[in-house]
Structure 1
Amino acid sequence: MTNAKSALAAFRAAVLADPAAAQYLAEPIRPDIFEARACAWAAAQGVGLSPAMLQDTVAEPHLLDALPPLGWLPAKMVQENAIEWLHFAGVVPNHPFFEEAVQEAAVRPLNRLLRLRTSLDTLIAAPRDPGFAPAGFVFHMSRCGSTLVSRMLGAAPGQVSLSEPPPLDALVRTPFADIGYQVEALQALVHAWGRGADRLFVKLDSWHTRALPLLRRAFPEVPWIFLHRDPVEVLVSHRRMRGMHTAPGVIPLDWFGLPPEDATLPEAEFVARILARICEPAMAHAPDGGLVVDYAALPDAFFTRILPHFGIVPDDAARAAMAAAAGRNAKAPDTGFVPDRDAKQREADAAIRAAASQVRAALGPAALSPSALPR
Structure 2
Amino acid sequence: MLNERQLLNGQPVAAEALTSLRNWFPVTVQGREIVWRYVQDRFTASFFTDTLQQQNPAQRYLCRTGFDWLKRLEPGLMPSAFIFHTSRCGSTLLTQLLSTLSCCIVMSEPPVIDAFLRRHQTEPEASGGSANLRQLILALGQQRSPDETHFFIKLDSWHTQFLPIFRAAFPDTPCWFLYREPDAILASHRRQRGPQMVPGMIASLAAETLEGGDLDGYCAKVLAGFFEAALANVEHLQLINYRQLPDILWQDLLLRQGIDCTSVQLERMRQRAGFHAKDQRIHFSTDTPSISSHPILQQQVEPLYAQIEQHRSRGQ
Q: Distance in 1 between matches of 2:39 and 2:188?
A: 33
Listed as ranges, the matches of 1:160-171 within 5 Å are 160-171=105-116
Q: Deviations over 1:264-301 (max 9, x none)?
A: 2632222111101111122232222x211110121112
Aligned partner of 1:335 in structure 2 is 282
Give the paired residue count: 295
1:362 is matched by which residue type in structure 2? Answer: L
Unaligned runs of 5+ in 2: 1-9, 312-316
* Contact 1:157 1:318 (C-alpha < 8 Å) held by counterparts: no
1:213 is matched by which residue type in structure 2? Answer: P
How many percent of aligned residue pairs carry the same amino acid? 29
Tell me which structure has the larger Cα radius of gyration.
1
Q: Give the match's secondary structure for 1:178.
A: helix
1:235 to 174, 177, 186: 186
Aligned partner of 1:275 in structure 2 is 223
Residue 358 in structure 1 maps to residue 300 in structure 2 = yes
* Contact 2:24 2:37 (C-alpha < 8 Å) held by counterparts: yes
Q: Give the match's secondary structure for 1:191.
A: helix
Aligned partner of 2:25 in structure 1 is 73
Listed as ranges, the matches of 1:202-241 within 5 Å are 202-241=153-192
Aligned partner of 1:373 in structure 2 is none
Q: Distance in 2 between matches of 1:274 and 1:78?
A: 25
* Contact 2:91 2:178 (C-alpha < 8 Å) held by counterparts: yes
Aligned partner of 1:201 in structure 2 is 152
Listed as ranges, the matches of 1:39-54 within 5 Å are none
Q: Deviations over 1:206-248 (max 9, x none)?
A: 0000101111111111111111111001111112222111111
Unaligned runs of 5+ in 1: 1-57, 370-375
Q: Deviations over 1:124-165 (max 9, x none)?
A: x225538x3111111100111000001111110131211111
Listed as ranges, the matches of 1:148-163 within 5 Å are 148-163=93-108
Distance change >3 Å, CA 259–CA 138, structure 1 → 2: closer
* Contact 2:34 2:67 (C-alpha < 8 Å) held by counterparts: yes
Distance change >3 Å, CA 103–CA 259, structure 1 → 2: closer
Q: Deviations over 1:286-318 (max 9, x none)?
A: 222x21111012111222232234443323343
Aligned partner of 1:109 in structure 2 is 58
Residue 84 in structure 1 maps to residue 31 in structure 2 = no
- Taking CA–CA contacts closer than 8 Å with sequence separation of 6 or more, which of the two structures ends up with the larger relative contact order? 2
Aligned partner of 1:96 in structure 2 is 46
Listed as ranges, the matches of 1:141-152 within 5 Å are 141-152=86-97
Cα RMSD after superposing both structures: 2.6
Q: Distance in 1 between matches of 2:65 and 2:211?
A: 42
Listed as ranges, the matches of 1:49-68 within 5 Å are 59-64=11-16, 68=20
Q: Distance in 1 between matches of 2:200 and 2:153?
A: 26
Q: Give the match's secondary structure for 1:349.
A: coil
* Contact 1:128 1:191 (C-alpha < 8 Å) held by counterparts: no
Cα drift, residue 110 of structure 1: 3.7
With structure 1 as the length reference, what TM-score do the two structures score? 0.71
1:251 is matched by which residue type in structure 2? Answer: I
Q: Give the match's secondary structure for 1:73.
A: strand
Q: Distance in 2 between matches of 1:173 and 1:236?
A: 28
Aligned partner of 1:26 in structure 2 is none
Aligned partner of 1:299 in structure 2 is 246
* Contact 2:275 2:281 (C-alpha < 8 Å) held by counterparts: yes
* Structure number with higher helix proportion: 1
Q: Distance in 1 between matches of 2:19 and 2:179?
A: 38
* Contact 1:158 1:199 (C-alpha < 8 Å) held by counterparts: yes
Aligned partner of 1:349 in structure 2 is 292
Bigger Cα displacement from structure 2, 142-151 vs 357-366: 357-366
Distance change >3 Å, CA 230–CA 323, structure 1 → 2: same
1:318 is matched by which residue type in structure 2? Answer: Q
2:304 is matched by which residue type in structure 1? Answer: A
Q: Distance in 2 between matches of 1:215 and 1:364?
A: 26
* Contact 2:29 2:112 (C-alpha < 8 Å) held by counterparts: no
